[in-house]
Chain A
Amino acid sequence: MIWLELFLTFLKIGAFTFGGGYAMLPLIQSEVERHGWLTQAEVVDFIAVSESTPGPLAINMATFIGIRTGGIFGAVCATFGVVLPSFVVILIVAKFYEKFRKSRVVDGVMFGLRPAVIGLIGAAFLSVGMTVFFPNGLKSAVFSNAGLWTSLGIFTAGAVLAFRKVHPIVIIAVSAVMGIAAGYAMEL
């Protein structure tokens, strides 16, 4: 049953993600939360793992969540689900290519979807931000500020590096080192 659930959930994620990558985050976050498969913090952790390993985020996510919840066959079901919509649609489009490129309907839908995807990633930024800065909810955060300042510091450093076009893997490595240093420093 979990296998069918994994397949259907990732089929939905595959069918409604345009542009791939971070665009699928809001969908993954809401589906994973609804099913109780991972915590929001685990989703964020896994984005980092996915950025530091080869392959597309969508496949990495599907495989990871699949294996966590349904073992290796769960991973197969989730990955198959996320791949299938793309695969079928592209097979059809490849046959009717000219019509597809000139279609006013496709043009019109994309006119709405392109900015929508930016809004969706913006929403993912906000919800990941809540997880990062206020892991225990807003109230507790006001006074437990060592962790908050650490996160703010690492985020600022990461943003500076990212806007200087430093490779994501380097940014993740630097953040990990800063996190370890700050963690042990807080114990002193």
Chain B
Amino acid sequence: MNKVIDLFVTFLKIGAFTFGGGYAMIPLIQREVCENKKWLNDDDILEIVAIAESTPGPVAINAATFVGSRTAGTVGAVCATLGVVLPSFLIISVISYVLRAFQESRAVQYAFMGIRAGVLALILKAVYTMFRSAKKHGVSYFIMAAALVLTALLKTDAVFVIIGCGTFGLVWSLIFGKKGEG
């Protein structure tokens, strides 16, 4: 029982102190879960990253559910997930009211005009980083280009793009095997 509460509190802390979410959370999880609580070891953390990448949903939720389930079963998974979600949920609830109160202000509108351009720069950096770490392989470039063109120019629903590219990858690697993955 104590372990379950401990999981909740630990992930509450992780949720409250990670900015940007996802991968930014992994070092924090490692420190809390491996070094402080000794629930899992460093290899488990690497596994969590690999699993979070290949399962749907936000990395933070995947990681919390996985650690909770490994440490204290399904109840543990519920508590860890609830813990990691709660700070975001509360903070955003408050902020959405604050934003509404200030959104008519001219200074706030100008600030957001600037911020939008700044966010665009952040997205560019994210694409660039992912592109650099992607497999340098013809098929991989082809899928990237296809997903980009389908979504940006042909306005295909992202759900179909995901399903299509996943199916294509599966069929390709079943036919050509590891060779195809270069």
CB distance from A146 to the nearest CB of B (A): 11
**Contact code string B122-134 (vs A, CB < 8 Å = 1, else 0):** 1111111011001
**Contact code string A43-66 (vs B, CB < 8 Å = 1, else 0):** 011011111111111111001100
Q: Quick check: is A124 within 8 A (CB to CB) of the other chain?
A: yes
Bound CA span A152–B171, Å: 43
Bound CA span A187–B125, Å: 32
**Contact code string A110-138 (vs B, CB < 8 Å = 1, else 0):** 11111111111111111111011000000
- Which bucket holds chain B's interface residue count? 35 or more
- A residues less than 8 Å from B162 (CB atoms): 16, 18, 113, 116, 120
Q: Is the Cβ of A63 less than 8 Å from the Cβ of B92? A: yes
- B residues less than 8 Å from A5 (CB atoms): none
Q: Is the Cβ of B58 less than 8 Å from the Cβ of A58? A: yes
Stretch at the interface among B1-9, B30-38, B81-89: B81-89
Residue of B nearest to A121 (CB): B127
Q: Is the Cβ of B92 less than 8 Å from the Cβ of A108? A: no
- Which bucket holds chain A's interface residue count? 35 or more
**Contact code string A169-188 (vs B, CB < 8 Å = 1, else 0):** 10110111111101110000
Known contacts: A86-B62, A182-B110. The answer to whether A15 contacts B56 by CB under 8 A is yes
CB distance from A122 to the nearest CB of B (A): 5
- Of the candidates B21, B163, B168, the one whose C-beta lies within 8 Å of that of A59 is B21
Residue of B nearest to A175 (CB): B118
Q: Is the Cβ of A180 less than 8 Å from the Cβ of B123? A: no
- Of the candidates B92, B130, B158, B165, the one whose C-beta lies within 8 Å of that of A53 is B92
Q: Is the Cβ of A20 less than 8 Å from the Cβ of B147? A: no
- A residues less than 8 Å from B125 (CB atoms): 159, 162-163
- Of the candidates B59, B88, B111, B172, the one whose C-beta lies within 8 Å of that of A20 is B59
**Contact code string A79-108 (vs B, CB < 8 Å = 1, else 0):** 100110111011101100100110011111
Report A25-46 residues with CB < 8 Å from chain B CB. 25-27, 30, 41, 44-45
Q: Is the Cβ of A94 less than 8 Å from the Cβ of B57? A: no
Residue of B nearest to A95 (CB): B69
Q: Is the Cβ of A54 less than 8 Å from the Cβ of B88? A: yes
Q: Is the Cβ of A86 less than 8 Å from the Cβ of B55? A: yes
| Complex A-B: 27 CB contacts under 8 Å | A18-B55, A21-B126, A51-B20, A56-B61, A56-B88, A58-B21, A64-B95, A79-B85, A82-B57, A83-B61, A90-B51, A90-B69, A115-B147, A116-B162, A118-B147, A122-B147, A128-B119, A150-B117, A151-B113, A154-B117, A156-B121, A175-B115, A175-B117, A182-B114, A183-B107, A183-B109, A183-B114
